[in-house]
A and B are shown apart, each in its own frame.
Chain A
C-alpha cells in the first residue's frame, strides 16, 4: 500500500479536526510526519510522500529559512526601526497603501480588528515564517478580540514573502497581515 496525495490530504483533514498535535505514520518505506500548525513547522512543510516531492523540496527550503529567522529574532532587519516606533495607526495605513508590486503576490488581509499573534501561545513557534508554504486552509495567525481567539487562514496557496504587523500589535479590519507568492 502506498500513500497518494489524496490520502495525505484526507489524513491532514482528520488531524486538523482532532485534538492531536502530531502524527507519525510509516507505511511501505514512506514516513509521514504531520504536525499541527504552531508546533515547530507547519504540517504542510513536513509532508514527504513520493508523489509530493517537488512541493516538499520547496517546503524544506522554506523551513530552513524560517529556522534561521527564529534563531536570530533580532536579525529581522527588514522592518525599519522608525516603523516599529511609529504609532500603530501609521503602520496600519502604510500596510494598506502599499500594494504588492508583483502580480503573483497576494495580500492576506485581517478579517477583523484585534490583537495579532503569530504563534498559538507565548513561547511557541510562529504559525508561519517568511518562506513558509501555505495552503488555502493553513492557519497563519491568531487575532484576539476581547479574549476570543480567532484563527486566520491564508486563503491562498503559496509561499509567505512578507509578514507586516509586529507580534501582539493591534491590527485593524482590512490591514495587510502577510503577503504570499501564489503557487501557480
Chain B
C-alpha cells in the first residue's frame, strides 16, 4: 500500500473506529481535533493529534482548508472524512487534489451528483429504479399542480438536504404555500441552497438500504442490505442485517437496483443506497444515496466478515475491489443499538456532560464501537452518539438474545442515555417478530406509558 499515514477529519466513535483499522493495517493515524476533543479517547489513541480550531464545528470539523493543510503539514498521504461533517462535501476532495492528498471517498463530481437530491432521483429513474412520486417545485404554481397530482400527505424536501434534514410534512393542501416559503428559507439557511422538491409521504414503510463498494471504473459489488426502520424523526436507533422477512425476489430487486445506481455513476468507494420498502406489496422506491461510511456499517461487517473501512482505504489506494461478488456471503444476523446521550423519557432531549463511569458489555458475538471511557466529555457542540453495541449470531433470535443481554449489563453514569429505550424496544414482541416499519417507535411509546416521564423533567439520573 502506498498510503502510510491517514489524517482523520472526524471525531467520536468513528474516529476511534478508523484508528483501529489504521492500526491493523500498520498505517499511522493523525487525528484532527477541535479544542473540545483535545482530551478525547480517540485523541489518546491516534499516533498524532492536531488541533484545527475551536469547538464550533464550522471553525474546526467543517474547516476544509485547515484540515487539508494539517494533512499536508503532518505528512499524511490521505484523508478519511468519516461520516457527517465534510464527508459528502465536494470541497474536501477538491482541496485534497490541489494538495496532492488522497481523499478516501468518491470523486468531487460524484459527491455533487449524489448531494443534489433531484439529480440523484433523475439518475435513479434513468437506471430504471422506481422513485417516490414527486419532483421539482420551482415556483408556487408548479408546486400546486404537482401537489394535486401526488396528493397529500406529502413532504417538502431540500434539494441539498438528506438524512431527514430539512423536511416539512404537508397534510392539507391549503398549507402548501406557507410551508413552501418556510422550507425554502430553512433550506437556504441550512444548506446554502433554497431549492426544494416534493415527494409523496409514505407512512409506515420500512427503511432498507444496500451497502455497495465501487472501484470508480464501473465495477460495483453489494454487501447485502440493512434494515433501519427503527427510527425516531428520521434518526435511526436500531439497525440490522439482513432485513427480516423480505422475499428473495424483493431482496434481489433491491440489491440489483443499488448496484445499477452505483454503476451509472462509476461510483468510487463505499456507499449506501437507501430505499423505502413496502414488504407486503413487494414494492420499493429509491430514497437517496449516502456517499460515505455509515454509522450502522458494523452490522454489514458482522454478517460479511469484511472491514469496510479497510476496503475504503484499499479502493482509495488504487487496489480496486479486493472482493468478487460471488465471494460475498451473508452469514447469520447482526443487530446494532445506537447508544446516545439523550433523555428517552423526555423527547430524546440531548444530555451532554461528563460520563462519570461506563461499563460496556463484553461477550461472545458482542462488538462495541465507542470512544467513551470513564471521564469522557460529551460536548454539547456535536451529536450525542456515545457508542454502538452490535450483537451477531447464527440467526436473528441468537443475535437478539445476545443484544438484550448486552444492553442489560451496560451502565453509563453521569449523563442520561437511551439504554432504557433499547431495553424496551428489544423486549417488545413486535420487534422480536421482526420487520417493523418506521411507525414502530410511536407504537412502542403508546404501548409502554412507563417510557414517558414528562412530569419529571428535572429528575436526577444514576
- Residue numbers of A with Cβ under 8 A of B are 87, 89, 92, 112-115, 144-146, 148, 170, 172-175
> Does B329 make an interface contact (CB < 8 A)?
no
Note all chain B residues with C-beta closer than 8 A to A146.
65, 68-69, 95, 98-99
A170 B68 Cβ-Cβ under 8 A: no
Note all chain B residues with C-beta closer than 8 A to A113.
50-53, 66, 69-70
CB under 8 Å from chain A, chain B span 81-118: 95, 98-99
Note all chain A residues with C-beta closer than 8 A to B60.
173
Note all chain B residues with C-beta closer than 8 A to A89.
48-50
> Does B363 make an interface contact (CB < 8 A)?
no
The 6 closest A-B pairs by CB, nearest first: A170-B73, A172-B51, A146-B65, A173-B53, A113-B66, A113-B52
Q: Can you list 13 A-B contacts (CB < 8 A)?
A: A87-B48, A89-B49, A89-B50, A92-B51, A112-B53, A115-B69, A146-B65, A146-B69, A146-B99, A170-B70, A173-B51, A174-B35, A174-B51
Closest B residue to A170 by beta carbon equals: B73
B69 A114 Cβ-Cβ under 8 A: yes
User: Given the interface contacts A113-B70, A173-B35, does A145 sit within 8 Å of B65 by beta carbon?
Assistant: yes
Q: Which of A115, A144, A148, A172 interacts with B52 by CB under 8 Å?
A: A172
Note all chain A residues with C-beta closer than 8 A to B69.
113-115, 144-146
CA distance A115 to B73 in the complex (A): 8
Note all chain A residues with C-beta closer than 8 A to B99.
146
CA distance A145 to B99 in the complex (A): 11
Closest A residue to B73 by beta carbon equals: A170
Note all chain A residues with C-beta closer than 8 A to B45.
none
Q: Which of A87, A145, A174 interacts with B66 by CB under 8 Å?
A: A145
Min Cβ gap A25→B in Å is: 40
Note all chain B residues with C-beta closer than 8 A to A173.
35, 51-54, 60, 66
Min Cβ gap B29→A in Å is: 13
CA distance A116 to B240 in the complex (A): 49
CA distance A89 to B75 in the complex (A): 13
- Chain B 31-71 against A: per-residue CB contact (8 Å), 1 yes, 0 no? 00001000000000000111111100000100001101110
Min Cβ gap A88→B in Å is: 8
> Does B294 make an interface contact (CB < 8 A)?
no
B51 A148 Cβ-Cβ under 8 A: no
CA distance A172 to B271 in the complex (A): 33
Note all chain A residues with C-beta closer than 8 A to B253.
none
> Does B74 make an interface contact (CB < 8 A)?
yes
